[in-house]
Chain A
Amino acid sequence: MSWGLYREVKNQGRAGLSQKEVRIVDGCRVKLDVEELASAIVVADPADAESIAQVKKLLAGLAEDAKHQELIEPVGEALQDALTAGKLLEQNPDAKACASVGEAVESLQKTIVACHRARAASCKFKQSQLATAGKAPAKAQSLAAVKQRDADTIALIGEFLSEGEEGLSRADQILMTAERNGASSDAINGLFRVFHTIKGVAGFLELFDIQSLAHTTETMLNCCREGLFPLSGGRLDLVFDSTAVMRRILIELRVAVEGSREFASAEDIASLVGRLQAAADVTWSGAEQPQSAKPASAEPSPAAVETPAPITAPAPAVAIEEPAAAATARPQGNDGGADTKIRPTIKVDLERVDRLVEMIGELVVVEAMVVGAPEISHSGSARVRNCLGQLAKVTRDLQDVGMRMRMLPVSAVFQKMARMARDVGRKAGKQVRVVLSGETTEMDRSMVEQISDPLVHMIRNSIDHGIEGPEARRRAGKAEEGTVRLSACHEGGSVVIEIADDGRGLNRDAILKKAVAQGLIDPADPMTEDEINSLIFAPGFSTAEKVTDISGRGVGMDVVRRNIDAMRGRIAIKTVPGQGTTFKITLPLTLAIIDGMLVACGNERYIIPTLSIVESIQPEASMLVTQGGHNEMLNMRGLILPLLRMDRLLGAKGGIQDATKALVVIVEGVGRRVGLLVDEVVSQQQVVIKSMGEGTGEVKFISGAAILSDGRVGLIVNVEEITSLVSDKRHRGFAGDSASAGVEA
């Protein structure tokens, strides 16, 4: 694993999982660092200067921590050991020193865990400690109450979690509107309701941490509501922090409940509660809480972005700029009626929906079988024909409805992006405005989840690399505030998502220079604009001079492309120097269905995805060329393509051997074209992709299966795998040469 990728994984993993264990012992910061160090040691390689430097850096950080914190004695001793070992490593970075640091760190970890256990056993939960909060090290004690959870409580917690997450997204949305347009009383009321509901339920569930945080936030908001002071500046930031921290606690709670572990509270609640309490005072100026004092952990973690959205029918999303946004904040509970715009929804177990959709799929197949049965299709009765027509229509409608049930609007993801953009912008010291449009655009549920990751990376990049600092923007004659536009729309049978910034645009020269330096391209190669732009997707490619904690390791865009490829989508870049960059992602509506061409090959039939088909022709004898009597090629308008016989490739029997009587389907995959000889094209149809079933493993040349209209199983050809054959060494004899010849011709 490359170092950059490792960091990426680590960061995400840390945000999601490891944190919950971390803040338990006194000197929890130490534990966090130790964990990171332990992981760094594992991958450290004495020959790799970067990894050693990383270990050194972490050790230095640890030493720093130790100075500032009082550690329990055994932990302090173990830490000293580790530091001593680290000094040796510094003097002589070899494998032996690495190993000794590793050992020391391991024993340090064990000591910390042991201390934690001892402490957890002796501690009792005291709520008062939380209420007074502030500096008291009352961290680990809370929520021992959750320990004994019965099924009912778990169900309640589950409900609380999804409601809470919904509420927090709504709060974020209101906050961002408030930040832009000033907080209306509607906005404050909306926020108040969110926190109030959370507080109520949390209290009931004995989640005192959450309750106390919600309570103090609510108290402060209440003062705003009473007009003691406006909700702006530092106070607004505090509410932002509060939602971020609360979201993280909810995630930790979810993990704890699912793993039926004890839920340990985060230690930074106390200080946040303290700050909120201070802010509830009229005289509070916000000055004592400078920007930099914000806990870094308050950044919304990528994990937070991925929490599954509950499957509900789409509620009308609110454009973020609309001043009326706050008005749509839905009052919790069943008091209803405050907002008529929200359509009633019910929550349904996802499994049931999937099952329903699956059964509809079966119904469609059976319907086709009934209609196609000779006894029925040959029946001359007009009545039967009528009924069959009705049946066909109803099943099609039903299929449509079923498909829609799995569709979700992209709004949830978009809003999370807006929130993230705000935080990233602040961190980078840039003013960024996020404009969302088309959030009601619907996509398959699984894709809404999958698109989140690439969007995170792209927006980070846009803000970190694209948008200039306020100073530079002023000099360029642009508004100080940068804009990132995130939009979605349907275009034909696909969904288009665009991310446009008005930053400096891609630096063509820098990209070329870096690509040559990294050996990605030959400087002599002529390259089109598109080719140059797509270089930024290469793994490990980054033109950033320094790596920040936002971006610059060259991992992000690689992830973007891979995720989008996995969704069978495309990404295009348009950039104008000085004016900005636009990324356009085109995705299929759903992952479950593809357009396919059903081809016959001997007595078998296969499906070729229409997207990969360039054209199909019936070859004439003059077009067929062989080398050595067996390596076949197709000379098509001067373009020489390798010709593969599908029946031989897949071992089918009874295929047409005379190529002039058969059909050549020209397919393209991984940038290569290959002619596939098939008997005939039977039909074009949409098919539902199914997995091949457990126990089949991966099958060469086949990417999946689908049920054909006659109820049989058809196999979907893996075009990428077939076209990559021509670059295989054993095929190089004909394919490699002819492919390059083809390019030249």
Chain B
Amino acid sequence: MSSQSESTERTNGAGEVSAIGAQLAGKYMTFKLANEEYGLEILKVREIIGLMDITRVPCTQEFMSGVINLRGKVIPVIDLRLKFAMERCQTTEQTVIIVVQYTLHGRNMTMGLLVDQVLEVLSIEATQIEPPPEFGTSTLRNDFILGIGKSEKRVIFLLDIGRVLNADEATEVAQAAAS
């Protein structure tokens, strides 16, 4: 994605469509983390389930909340707040787990994302999407942000779920555990 964003021309006016916008336009499931809004490509969202008992898995990184029983299947759950280095917060009635499913390097991945609140399914037009800003040598990596959607006055970060926790990191989880 990063190469595409580099070659992308910024939108100059309201009418112009950036290449990344054309590519990313579509329906997104939006959710909240603290007061930030994020969007997930709707096709990758399998379901939304209420908070349930999460079994902690020992010797894993902090953002790894643990595993849950999704109708007989064991799937890992990631606390997105911790993953994005945000503050941990008390769970509320609106805290939910978004179950996403995607393919990474030919493997079918199913995992839960712990988020503060699910908002809506939003259609984002190509003209409303901008490439992610470059932070230069900023400390936080943001390669899992595909683009930024604008809807009215809201700003929505469009997530590349395959990169939020990629295979390397999954291995990293294991290695961190092993060290």
A718 → chain B, closest Cβ, in Å? 11
The answer, yes or no, to whether B171 is at the interface (CB within 8 Å) is yes
- The answer, yes or no, to whether B136 is at the interface (CB within 8 Å) is no
Q: Which of B66, B73, B76, B177 contacts A700 (CB 8 A)?
A: B177
A699-B174, A712-B69, A713-B69 are known contacts. Are A693 and B58 too (CB-CB below 8 A)?
no
Q: Are A694 and B108 in contact (CB under 8 A)?
A: yes
Q: Complex Cα distance A698/B58, Å?
A: 11
User: Is B58 a contact partner of A713 (Cβ separation < 8 A)?
Assistant: no
Nearest A residue to B55 via CB reads: A713
Beta-carbon nearest neighbor of B70 in chain A? A693
Chain B CB count within 10 A is highest, among A359, A652, A715, for A715
- Tell me the residues in window 643-670 of chain A with beta carbons closer than 8 Å to chain B beta carbons: 649-652
B170 touches A697 (CB 8 A): yes
Q: Report A522-551 CB contacts with B as 1/0, cut-off 8 Å.
A: 000000000000000000000000000000
CB-based contact B174/A715 at 8 Å: no
Is B87 on the interface with A (CB-CB < 8 A)?
no
Nearest A-chain residue to B179, judged by Cβ: A700
Asked if A705 is at the interface (CB within 8 A of a chain B CB), the reply is yes
**B49 contacts the other chain (CB 8 A):** no
Q: Does B57 contact A (CB under 8 A)?
A: yes
Compute how far the CA of A697 lies from the CA of B67 in the bound complex, rounded to whole angstroms: 12
Is A237's beta carbon under 8 Å from chain B?
Answer: no
Contact yes or no, A650 B75, CB < 8 A: no
Which residues 47-68 of B have a CB within 8 angstroms of A? 53, 55-60, 64, 66-68
B69 touching A711, Cβ below 8 Å: yes
> Does any Cβ of B come within 8 Å of A690's Cβ?
yes
CA distance A181 to B110 in the complex (A): 58
| Most A Cβ at <10 Å: residue of B58, B108, B171 | B58
- Write out the residue numbers on chain B whose beta carbons fall within 8 Å of the beta carbon of A651: 58-59
Is B71 part of the binding interface, using a Cβ–Cβ cutoff of 8 Å? Answer: yes
Decide if A604 touches B72 in the complex (CB within 8 Å).
no
* Alpha-carbon distance between A699 and B60 when the two chains are bound, in angstroms: 7
CB proximity of A689 to chain B, nearest CB, Å: 10
- B178 in the interface (beta carbon within 8 A): yes
Kindly provide the distance from the CB of A455 to the nearest chain B CB, expressed in whole angstroms: 32
A695 in contact with B55 (CB, 8 Å): no
Give min CB distance, A535 to chain B, whole Å.
32
Q: How large is the interface on B (under 10, 10 to 19, 20 to 34, 35 or more residues)?
A: 20 to 34
Query: Contact residue range for chain A?
Result: 20 to 34
Within residues 129 to 177 of chain B, which ones have a CB less than 8 A from any CB in chain A?
165, 170-174, 177
Q: Are A359 and B57 in contact (CB under 8 A)?
A: no
B40, CB-defined interface residue at 8 Å: no
Q: What's the nearest-Cβ distance from chain A to residue B110, in Å?
A: 7
The reply on A201 being an interface residue by CB < 8 A is no
- B58 and A692 contacting across the interface, CB-CB below 8 Å: no
Contact across chains for B58 and A694 when beta carbons are under 8 A apart? no
Contact A694-B59, Cβ < 8 Å, known A358-B72, A362-B71, A362-B72: no
Do A650 and B58 form a contact, CB below 8 Å, given A694-B110, A696-B170, A698-B177? Answer: yes
CB of B72 within 8 A of CB of A359, answer yes
Query: CB-CB < 8 A to A699: which residues of B?
Result: 57-60, 173-174, 177
- Given A650-B58, A652-B58, check contact A693 B71 (CB 8 Å): no
Which residue in B59, B74, B110 is a CB contact (below 8 Å) of A707?
B74
Say whether A198 faces chain B, with CB atoms less than 8 Å apart. no
Decide yes or no whether B109 CB sits under 8 A from chain A: yes
A-side contacts of B177, CB under 8 Å: 697-700
A86 at the binding interface (Cβ < 8 Å): no
Is A160's CB within 8 Å of the partner chain B? no
How many Å from the CB of A356 to the closest CB on chain B?
12
- Docked Cα-Cα span, A696 to B69, in Å, equals 14
Instruction: Say yes or no for B111: interface residue by CB 8 A criterion.
Output: yes
- A714 interface residue, CB < 8 Å from B? yes
Question: Contacting A604 at CB < 8 Å: which of B55, B60, B170?
Answer: B55
Chain A residue, CB-CB nearest to B178: A700
Q: Is A273 in contact with chain B by the CB < 8 A criterion? A: no
A-B CB proximity, top 10 nearest: A697-B174, A362-B72, A650-B58, A700-B177, A713-B55, A700-B59, A705-B74, A693-B75, A698-B174, A696-B76
Q: Return 30 A-B CB contacts under 8 Å, by A number.
A: A359-B72, A604-B55, A650-B58, A650-B59, A691-B74, A692-B57, A692-B67, A692-B76, A693-B73, A693-B75, A693-B110, A694-B108, A694-B111, A695-B109, A695-B170, A696-B60, A696-B76, A696-B173, A697-B170, A698-B174, A699-B57, A699-B58, A699-B177, A700-B58, A700-B177, A702-B57, A711-B69, A712-B55, A713-B55, A713-B74
- Which residues of B line the A interface, CB within 8 A? 53, 55-60, 64, 66-69, 71-76, 107-111, 165, 170-174, 177-178
Contacts A361-B72, A700-B178, A712-B69 aside, 19 further interface pairs with beta carbons under 8 A come to A358-B72, A649-B58, A652-B58, A690-B72, A693-B67, A693-B75, A693-B110, A693-B111, A695-B76, A696-B57, A697-B171, A700-B58, A700-B59, A700-B177, A705-B55, A707-B72, A711-B53, A713-B74, A715-B58
